[in-house]
């Protein structure tokens, strides 16, 4: 089964995508994580991506499309996968449509009011090693600064400051939100307010699991 997650920054889509990937035993492909990894490695792609990611702008389509096309061809994707953070533009959606021609997929839209997503972004902590996401208030790690899953160090993403968060919302509204209409025939909307467990239960119910 192939799932695509849509939702504004801070909607909790990454957390839900990770839970669903565990449930179905399929890879969780988070493009933001892949890009941050290429930046850490200092590869050519990473050098180009850095400025965009840190400013909260979209990395050029040609680059993200190529990364995703290559990633979903890998053998671990043969029974399905979850895309989180891709597509984020019409051009990416068109490219994905071609790459997935003949395959069935569902688009999950995590719906949350704007004020809540801003609050969730501020206070978010990410694991430098495995990419797991925590929140100081809503989902704190058991031990401060340490990832529950892998023991990696937690850090606050550079693009989680208020100014960059505002840019990310603007980009979301302009480029990504129109995809809700683009996918209207495949869209499954899930109310994303409340705790992680409650949202996940609603998600499974909406998928008929």
Which positions lie near ligand AMP, rule CB under 6 A? 9, 31-32, 35, 52-53, 56-59, 64, 85-88, 92, 159, 168
Does the active-site annotation cover 88?
A: yes
For residue 163, which phi and psi values (nearest 5 degrees)? -65, -45
State the catalytic residue, choosing from 13, 19, 36, 120.
13
Alpha carbon distances (Å) from 128 to 39, 93, 183: 12, 29, 33
DSSP 3-state assignment of 98? helix
174 vs 205 by CB, closer to ligand AMP:
174
Does the active-site annotation cover 71?
A: no
State the catalytic residue, choosing from 71, 90, 106, 157.
157
46 vs 140 by CB, closer to ligand AMP:
46
Closest residue by beta carbon to ligand AMP = 32
What gap in Å lies between CA 140 and CA 131, rounded to an integer?
A: 15
28 vs 88 by CB, closer to ligand AMP:
88
Shortest gap between Cβ of 22 and ligand AMP (angstroms)?
19
Shortest gap between Cβ of 208 and ligand AMP (angstroms)?
27
Shortest gap between Cβ of 21 and ligand AMP (angstroms)?
15
Shortest gap between Cβ of 205 and ligand AMP (angstroms)?
25
First vs last Cα of the chain: how many Å apart?
Answer: 12
**What radius of gyration do the chain's Cα atoms show?**
16
What gap in Å lies between CA 80 and CA 72, rounded to an integer?
A: 9
State the catalytic residue, choosing from 36, 50, 120, 168.
168
Q: Nearest CA to 57 among 48, 68, 70, 45?
A: 48
Q: How many CB atoms lie within 10 A of CB 141?
A: 17
Does the active-site annotation cover 120?
A: no
Does the active-site annotation cover 40?
A: no
Contact 6, 108 (CB under 8 A): yes
95 vs 199 by CB, closer to ligand AMP:
95
List active site positions.
13, 88, 124, 157, 168
């Amino acid at each position: 089964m192939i799932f695509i997650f849509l939702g504004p920054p801070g909607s909790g889509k990454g957390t839900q995508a990770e839970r669903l990937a565990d449930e179905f035993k399929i890879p969780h492909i988070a493009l933001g994580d892949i890009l941050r990894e290429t930046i850490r490695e200092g590869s050519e792609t990473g050098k180009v991506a850095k400025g965009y990611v840190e400013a909260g702008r979209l990395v050029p389509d040609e680059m993200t499309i190529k990364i995703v096309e290559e990633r979903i061809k890998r053998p671990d994707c043969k029974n399905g996968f979850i895309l989180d953070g891709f597509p984020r533009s019409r051009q990416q959606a068109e490219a994905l449509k071609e790459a997935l021609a003949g395959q069935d997929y569902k688009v999950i839209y995590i719906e949350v009011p704007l004020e809540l997503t801003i609050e969730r972004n501020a206070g978010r902590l990410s694991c430098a090693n495995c990419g797991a996401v925590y929140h100081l208030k809503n989902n704190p790690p058991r031990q401060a600064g340490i990832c529950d899953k892998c023991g990696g160090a937690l850090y606050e993403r550079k693009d989680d400051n208020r100014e960059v968060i505002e840019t990310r919302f603007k980009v979301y509204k302009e480029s990504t939100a129109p995809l809700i209409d683009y996918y209207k025939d495949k869209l499954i909307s899930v109310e994303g307010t409340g705790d992680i467990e409650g949202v996940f239960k609603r998600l499974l119910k909406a998928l008929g699991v």
